[in-house]
Chains A and B, each alone.
Chain A
Amino acid sequence: MLRIECPWCGIRNEDEFSYGGDASVQRPTDDASQDDWYDYVYTRNNPAGRHSEYWHHANGCRAWIKVERDTVSHEIFSVTPASPNLPSGNRED
């Protein structure tokens, strides 16, 4: 069981979240090549170790978050909002 620290809700159980795929891929711009768009959808690394991935706090605050996780040890290094441009969490404990 992973315990994920949502930037807004604090530490919550994995079963409140759904997995949202690889967050290391960058969505290409509209004028990018067909190959770039193909890679964006289909080409993935499968690292044994540090990995950046999207999670959705689906049964919580509905935030999409980026989780830096070790795929082997499941250690979580950081959890941030899905986009750096979003206002960060200002949870009051």
Chain B
Amino acid sequence: MSQQYRTSNGGQINRARSISFTFDGKSYTGFEGDTLASALLANGVHLMGRSFKYHRPRGIQTAGSEEPNAIVELRTGPRKEPNTRATTIELFDGLVAKSQNRWPSLAFDAMAINNLFSPLLSAGFYYKTFMWPASFWTNVYEHVIRRAAGLGTAPTEADPDFYEQCHEHCDVMIVGAGPAGLSAALAAASTDARVILLDEHPLLGGSLNSENFSIDGKPGNEWAAEAVAKLEAMDNVHLMTRTTLFGYYDHNVVAAIEKVSDHLPVPAKGHPRQRMWTFYPGRVILATGATERPLVFGNNDKPGVMLASAARTYANLYGVKPGRRAVIATNNNDAYRSALDLHRAGVNVVAVVDSRQHPGTQLVAELEKLSIRLIAGATVGAAEGRQHVKAAQIVTTQGDTLDPERIECDLIAASGGWNPNVHLHSQSGAKPVYDDSITSFIPGDSRQAEVSIGAAKGSFSLQNCLDQGTAAGAEAAKLAGFKAANIKAASAKDEGAYAIEALWISPTPYNKSFKQFVDQQNDVKSSDVALASQEGYDSAELLKRYTTQGMATDQGKTSNVNTLAILACQRGEPVPEVGITTFRPPYVAVAMGVFAGHTVGYDFMPVRRTAIHDWNEKQGAVFIEAGLWLRARYYPQRPGDTMNDCYIRETNATRSNVALVDVTSLGKIDIQGPDAAEFLNRLYINNWLKLPIGKARYGIMLREDGMVFDDGTTSRLAENHYYMTTTTANAGPVLAHMEQYHQSEWPELDVVFCSVTEQWTGIAVAGPNSRKLLEKVIDIDLSNEAFPFMAAGECRMNNIPGRLFRISFSGELAYEINVPADYGEQAWLELLEAGKEMGVSVYGTEALGTMRIEKGHVAGSELDGRTTAKDLGLEGLANRGKHFIGKHNSERPALLDEGRLQVVGLKSLVVDRNLRIGSQLVDPKVKLATVNQSQGHITATTYSPQLECGIALGLLRDGASRHGEQLDAVFPLDDETLKVEVCHPVFIDPEGELVRA
């Protein structure tokens, strides 16, 4: 029979719409409005999974996001989601769920044998068991424990859905739309304040939907629906359902996750699966309610044992009978409501067992009216049954337990009292305090602009919730600067006061030992808490780590207070002495995808393209990422061309004729003002005061610690106008560095500057025929006399305005022309056209790198943040008669000592073998045994078409004085050793005749 546990009427489900789903391959039906848990319970299915360590059968404990046990794998394929709480999954057509942590099947689980070996798995077992021997780690523990203690499996395919991130500001934010939250929203929204009210459920109203309350003479759920309708009609209110606030951060910034499409089979077209919200509220009202805690009795983890409030929620909200014969166990007044509601739903409530001698609640009379048996001064000592509760063994809370009464039942609805949900309050930096009257923690003094109200504050009466909500909503709007609201709280039918007497651990029948679970998700028992305490792990934070209590995916929502209280009992101290652990975000598990949002795949980072990119692409260039830039690496010409073929051809074409390369990605900074030269003088080690107009200079910048920061050429275009270039990688950092020194150290310097990297396209024209090519298109005299090496000036290229620099990275006669980026492609095409008859070609960054190594120019791999100008052979550029950044620390004795790594050239002595970056340079007489025997390393390598052998640049101890030595270049990862000869880092044209030709 289908849905044999469904009540004949009631509940906020749509009985007209039936929904089919499968659990562990078996088909069931439920109704629209069900959760997976309520639908399974309607079908009499309680067994939901096996526990983490002991593989004990587990069922549904709760009706909300605090659920420790009923966690399942939801969906299949790429949308599969492990560790999903059945109590929060909204039922949809075709839903597929699977139990976790069982092998080979849920009913028969081979690993349940762990249950018998449980002493091995007690508190601290991670620390004790895995100590010795080391080989057991890889061979035994990993395999066995991973299989035994699993938490579902992750999907193996990429997530097909997308996630969004949103930001919103408001004056008053209300978290939780129960009676307190709705009252607060009505009050705050009656002013002009912008109000956001959010709730994790699909239906707003909180406990008004799951309890039989009466407000203003109406059923609670109707009052809630009217309040929601009223708020919905106001345009200063943003209502959000299926939205959980998971983090309370500094400066009153809070974050929430909105489950936009989780209740659907697949997201609607164009809709995200989930949305992450960052809110900037003026004031926050926490109306997050309270969570019931379980009673700690023997076998309290059996399917059929449930929180008392969850049992009545299933009856009231979903029209489901969680059992047929129920025993209610409690230490407080609230659970009496479960007896009445379950009775009304048609469940046979066989007994209410109250651990207090004198229950003292007005509901006692109501029990009597219904002839429900009340057993005072007693509690459930243990549950009986294998895969489901069969009976409760009732023991007295005073005196001996040798004569337990056995009551047959299939449901034990237990209440150990209520814990205000102080998580967000704690996350905000505040410290919850212990309140003896409710035996739990309540919010302490606020540290940020937040206030807790209603059950979240420990006020459990409905009228208090309505009153506090109304007052807090008005007050928050007032504090946010709005005119006070004058609104009256709704009035509730008296439900009687809440009262509780602590019962932290139940006595056991015959004083026998039973497993009494505290943290059901991590399988932590009361005996583990006792053991940890005996072994000295008796502070809240230590206990948590030693037993792993509270560290599962439910973050111990139902177990934290019980654990602390049991620890306090062990220590013989009151609970507040033990303290409370600090709650940290996230309040609920949040998918990683929502943190990534849209920044995945192609959108992970922006892509910077040069003006010549499209042309490069059309040529079939192979690109390389340089920071955010895409640069042409090499240009295959015919099928089968390898990278080596290309860069050798491109290098030869440049050195023998003329070729173009796109150098747009170099950083460019325009600097102007009367103090520009002085500013440069302090930034660079070089002297800039005497640089003539129309000249470029190669400069070196240090960091304040004396290490080289960046290099590049800077040109003087006019009296007070300079144009700086930086390396591609440091374009941003150099600008920030300049801004910092100008703003914090030298604000008196009259200079302004800004990045113009994007505004100019840079093209280098290199090779012996470069002048001949440029003379065809440039309007200024390019003769060696008129425009010598390191000349710089404005020009026109055909009709394009440009800046021309006679600088060379390749070591050839070369120029660099900059044109406004809008003309970039045109300039490139015109240069190609003009050079057509002389056979101009193009080259990429591989050939660029080859030529710079041949020429011995240092670059990023040598400027590694640990090299000084002296190490790089560039100390000659420094003018130590003036002040510059890094001057003093570059003069520290250790940086001038012998034994430093200095830049050298290296030639491979093995024919046809290229050297490898990262190879260690060692004396051929010693075998490389430790890193101490390394005398240096290789930083950049290439095959040199000029020298016809493998060459490299490297950093070698005292390298400048060791030219001619032979060393081994050792690459231990591949067990490779190559003979190399140390030489001057400039392999070609050491006198620089080519560049000056």
* Most chain B CB within a 10 A radius of its CB, from A40, A41, A86: A41
Q: Which B residue sits closest to A31, measured CB to CB?
A: B883
Q: Which residues does chain B contribute within 8 Å of A73, judged by CB atoms?
A: 429, 447
* Most chain A CB within a 10 A radius of its CB, from B250, B748, B892: B250
Q: Is B705 an interface residue (CB 8 A)?
A: yes
CB distance from B641 to the nearest CB of A (A): 42
CB <8 Å contact, B250 and A1: yes
Q: Is A83 an interface residue (CB 8 A)?
A: yes
Q: Which B residue sits closest to A32, measured CB to CB?
A: B888
CB <8 Å contact, A20 and B740: yes
* Most chain A CB within a 10 A radius of its CB, from B251, B253, B429, B748: B251
Given A1-B249, A3-B280: A86 touches B889 (CB 8 Å cut-off): no
CB <8 Å contact, B743 and A64: yes
CB distance from A91 to the nearest CB of B (A): 17
* Most chain B CB within a 10 A radius of its CB, from A1, A27, A38, A42: A1
CB <8 Å contact, B744 and A54: yes
CB distance from A28 to the nearest CB of B (A): 8
Inter-chain CA distance A82–B888, complex, in Å, is: 23
CB <8 Å contact, A64 and B744: yes
Q: Which residues does chain A contribute within 8 Å of B740, judged by CB atoms?
A: 20, 54, 56, 64, 82
Inter-chain CA distance A42–B743, complex, in Å, is: 22
Given A3-B280, A62-B739, A64-B739: A38 touches B704 (CB 8 Å cut-off): no
Q: Is A93 an interface residue (CB 8 A)?
A: no
| CB-CB contacts below 8 Å: A28-84 with B | 28, 30, 32, 34, 37-38, 40-42, 54, 56, 58, 62-64, 73-74, 76, 81-83
CB <8 Å contact, A2 and B250: yes
Q: Which residues does chain B contribute within 8 Å of A54, judged by CB atoms?
A: 740, 744
CB <8 Å contact, A1 and B743: no
Q: Which residues does chain A contribute within 8 Å of B888, judged by CB atoms?
A: 28, 32, 34, 37
Q: Is B589 an interface residue (CB 8 A)?
A: no
Q: Is A90 an interface residue (CB 8 A)?
A: no
Q: Is B747 an interface residue (CB 8 A)?
A: yes
The contact string, 1 if C-beta is below 8 Å from chain A, for chain B 877-911, is: 00000010001110110000000000000000000
Question: Which listed residue (B250, B745, B883, B889) contacts A41, Cβ 8 A?
Answer: B889
CB distance from B523 to the nearest CB of A (A): 36
CB <8 Å contact, B892 and A56: no
Q: Which residues does chain A contribute within 8 Å of B892, judged by CB atoms?
A: 34, 38
Inter-chain CA distance A90–B429, complex, in Å, is: 34
User: What is the total number of residues of chain B having a CB less than 8 Å from a CB of chain A?
Assistant: 24
Given A3-B280, A64-B740: A83 touches B747 (CB 8 Å cut-off): yes
Q: Is B278 an interface residue (CB 8 A)?
A: yes
Inter-chain CA distance A42–B456, complex, in Å, is: 48
CB <8 Å contact, B704 and A40: yes
CB <8 Å contact, A30 and B251: no
Question: Which listed residue (B280, B736, B748, B891) contacts A85, Cβ 8 A?
Answer: B748
| CB-CB contacts below 8 Å: B429-448 with A | 429, 447
Inter-chain CA distance A3–B887, complex, in Å, is: 37
Inter-chain CA distance A30–B880, complex, in Å, is: 11
Given A1-B253, A56-B736, A74-B250: A41 touches B743 (CB 8 Å cut-off): no
Q: Which residues does chain B contribute within 8 Å of A58, judged by CB atoms?
A: 736
Q: Which A residue sits closest to B429, measured CB to CB?
A: A73
Inter-chain CA distance A64–B297, complex, in Å, is: 61
Q: Which B residue sits closest to A36, measured CB to CB?
A: B888
Question: Which listed residue (B253, B745, B887, B889) contacts A38, Cβ 8 A?
Answer: B889
Inter-chain CA distance A74–B748, complex, in Å, is: 32
Inter-chain CA distance A37–B887, complex, in Å, is: 10
CB distance from B687 to the nearest CB of A (A): 15
Q: Which residues does chain A contribute within 8 Å of B278, judged by CB atoms?
A: 1
Q: Which A residue sits closest to B748, measured CB to CB?
A: A85
* Most chain A CB within a 10 A radius of its CB, from B278, B743, B745: B743
Q: Which residues does chain A contribute within 8 Å of B889, judged by CB atoms?
A: 37-38, 41
Inter-chain CA distance A76–B744, complex, in Å, is: 20
CB <8 Å contact, B739 and A56: yes
Q: Which residues does chain B contribute within 8 Å of A30, judged by CB atoms?
A: 883, 887
CB <8 Å contact, B747 and A85: yes
Q: Which residues does chain B contribute within 8 Å of A81, judged by CB atoms?
A: 743
Q: Which residues does chain A contribute within 8 Å of B747, judged by CB atoms?
A: 83, 85-86
| CB-CB contacts below 8 Å: B307-324 with A | none
| CB-CB contacts below 8 Å: B842-898 with A | 883, 887-889, 891-892
CB <8 Å contact, A3 and B748: no
Inter-chain CA distance A73–B249, complex, in Å, is: 11
Q: Which A residue sits closest to B885, measured CB to CB?
A: A27
| CB-CB contacts below 8 Å: B242-266 with A | 249-251, 253
Q: Which B residue sits closest to A23, measured CB to CB?
A: B744
Q: Which residues does chain B contribute within 8 Å of A34, judged by CB atoms?
A: 888, 891-892
Q: Which residues does chain B contribute within 8 Å of A32, judged by CB atoms?
A: 888
Q: Which B residue sits closest to A72, measured CB to CB?
A: B429
| CB-CB contacts below 8 Å: B717-767 with A | 736, 739-740, 743-745, 747-748
Inter-chain CA distance A37–B705, complex, in Å, is: 9
Q: Which residues does chain B contribute within 8 Å of A76, judged by CB atoms?
A: 251
Inter-chain CA distance A85–B744, complex, in Å, is: 9
Inter-chain CA distance A23–B744, complex, in Å, is: 9
Inter-chain CA distance A30–B888, complex, in Å, is: 8
Inter-chain CA distance A34–B891, complex, in Å, is: 9
Inter-chain CA distance A62–B669, complex, in Å, is: 14
CB distance from B701 to the nearest CB of A (A): 16
Inter-chain CA distance A38–B42, complex, in Å, is: 74
Q: Which residues does chain B contribute within 8 Å of A56, judged by CB atoms?
A: 736, 739-740
CB distance from A7 to the nearest CB of B (A): 12
Question: Which listed residue (A1, A20, A27, A42) contacts B745, Cβ 8 A?
Answer: A27
Q: Which B residue sits closest to A73, measured CB to CB?
A: B429
CB <8 Å contact, B251 and A86: no
Q: Which B residue sits closest to A65, measured CB to CB?
A: B743
Q: Which B residue sits closest to A26, measured CB to CB?
A: B745
Q: Which residues does chain B contribute within 8 Å of A42, judged by CB atoms?
A: 705
Query: B: which residues have CB within 8 A of A?
Result: 249-251, 253, 278, 280, 429, 447, 704-705, 736, 739-740, 743-745, 747-748, 883, 887-889, 891-892
A selection of 28 A-B contacts at a CB cut-off of 8 Å is: A1-B249, A1-B251, A1-B253, A2-B251, A20-B740, A28-B888, A30-B887, A34-B891, A37-B888, A37-B889, A38-B889, A38-B892, A41-B705, A42-B705, A54-B740, A54-B744, A56-B739, A56-B740, A58-B736, A73-B447, A74-B250, A76-B251, A82-B744, A83-B743, A83-B745, A83-B747, A85-B747, A86-B743
Query: A: which residues have CB within 8 A of B?
Result: 1-3, 18, 20, 23, 27-28, 30, 32, 34, 37-38, 40-42, 54, 56, 58, 62-64, 73-74, 76, 81-83, 85-86
Given contacts A1-B250, A37-B889, A76-B251, 9 further A-B contacts (CB under 8 A): A3-B253, A32-B888, A38-B889, A40-B704, A64-B739, A74-B250, A74-B251, A82-B740, A82-B743
**In the complex, the 5 A-B pairs of residues with the closest C-beta atoms, listed nearest first:** A82-B744, A37-B888, A1-B253, A30-B883, A74-B250
